[in-house]
A and B are shown apart, each in its own frame.
Chain A
């Protein structure tokens, strides 16, 4: 049976179309979810895409966190539903307290848009099991508020528990503490990543096909997961 992966559209989402396309290319069925509809329509996993939900008003992700669909997603994620937050989706996961820390204005204040090398630090999550630990991948980064911050105790805990999922290599594009590009929750089903794997799934438009691994990972995870 084809896995069904939900992609949420908030007002101001930008990369929901690309995320749905990446899901399809990975071999799953994308299911479009709407921010105002709390129903998850039987999806097996959820992607929170990049963009500027609610105009980034107040703080990025702060208002999206209270969208009806998010209440359901927070409950389901705590029950093990795989959730990938990309860019604005990562910000929403932090605001929803599914992931620790926060994402703040890039230290140099510039919007940064470039192809970025990442090192996969943890291949044990629902979204990175198709990679080898230490593997380097090339995917686009594009953000204005991608600087990951948390207190030292939280950072130490993330490191000690192997929950830093990916780090920037060859230059930190936004000043993130400890070069953190992606993190996960203790169970490994919720991952937040600042760069955009959904933009690196086809030779025509991406710098590589490395992003596809995030989406094929969740399919592997779902096949292995108890129903």
Chain B
């Protein structure tokens, strides 16, 4: 069954201290060519029937993302593209 994937990211103008902390840790791995890291959230939604993108968008706008600080994108993926199908 296809799923709807919602990606939620902090808006570009909102400081992402978690991303900064990760970026600051990279030199300890010997990585010196990363300019910035931003951390977001991926949500996978499975409907009982056909996936409903409009409904998913409504869920994202009302609950999954806070439009004051976050942007989101909604897309359909096949089951084998979802995270738990990958190893």
Contact B66 A66 (CB under 8 A): no
* Cβ contacts A to B, 12 pairs, < 8 Å: A58-B63, A59-B66, A62-B63, A94-B68, A104-B14, A107-B17, A109-B21, A149-B14, A149-B69, A150-B68, A151-B13, A175-B15
Among A101, A108, A147, which residue has its beta carbon within 8 angstroms of that of B68? A101
Whether B76 sits at the interface, judged by CB under 8 Å, is no
A106 at the interface (CB under 8 A from B): yes
Any B CB within 8 A of the CB of A8: no
The answer to whether A105 has its CB under 8 Å from any CB of chain B is: yes
Contact of B17 among A63, A108, A150 (CB under 8 A): A108
Chain B residues at the A interface, C-beta cutoff of 8 Å: 13-15, 17-18, 21, 63-64, 66, 68-69
Return B3 CB to nearest CB of chain A, in Å. Answer: 18
**Residues 20-64 of chain A: 1 if any B CB is under 8 Å from the residue's CB, otherwise 0?**
000000000000000000000000000000000000001100110
- State A182–B63 Cα separation when bound (angstroms): 24
Chain B residues whose CB sits within 8 angstroms of the CB of A58 once the complex forms:
63-64
**Contacts known (A58-B63, A62-B63); A109 close to B18, Cβ less than 8 A:** yes
Determine the main DSSP class of A at the interface with B. loop
> How far apart are the CA atoms of A100 and B67 in the complex, in Å?
11
Extra 5 A-B pairs, beta carbons < 8 Å, given A58-B64, A63-B63: A102-B66, A102-B69, A105-B18, A109-B17, A150-B68
Q: How far is the CA of A130 from the CA of B14 in the complex (A)?
A: 35
Name the distance in Å between A153's Cβ and chain B's nearest Cβ. 12
CA distance A105 to B22 in the complex (A): 14
* Residues in B whose Cβ lies below 8 Å from that of A59: 66
In Å, the complex CA distance between A108 and B15 comes to 11
**What separation, in Å, do the CA atoms of A87 and B45 have in the docked complex?**
31
Let me know if A95 and B66 touch, CB within 8 A: yes
Query: What residues of chain B lie closer than 8 Å to A104, measured between beta carbons?
Result: 14-15, 69
B71 to chain A, nearest CB (A): 13
Task: Tell me how far the C-beta of B6 lies from the nearest C-beta in chain A, rounded to whole angstroms.
Answer: 12
**Chain A residues within an 8 Å CB radius of B17:** 105-109
The answer to whether A107 touches B15, judged by C-beta atoms less than 8 angstroms apart, is: yes
Which of chain B's residues has its CB closest to A108's CB?
B17
A63 to B14, alpha carbons, bound, how many Å? 22
Closest CB pairs A-B (n = 7): A102-B68, A102-B69, A109-B17, A105-B17, A107-B17, A102-B66, A109-B21
A109 to chain B, nearest CB (A): 5
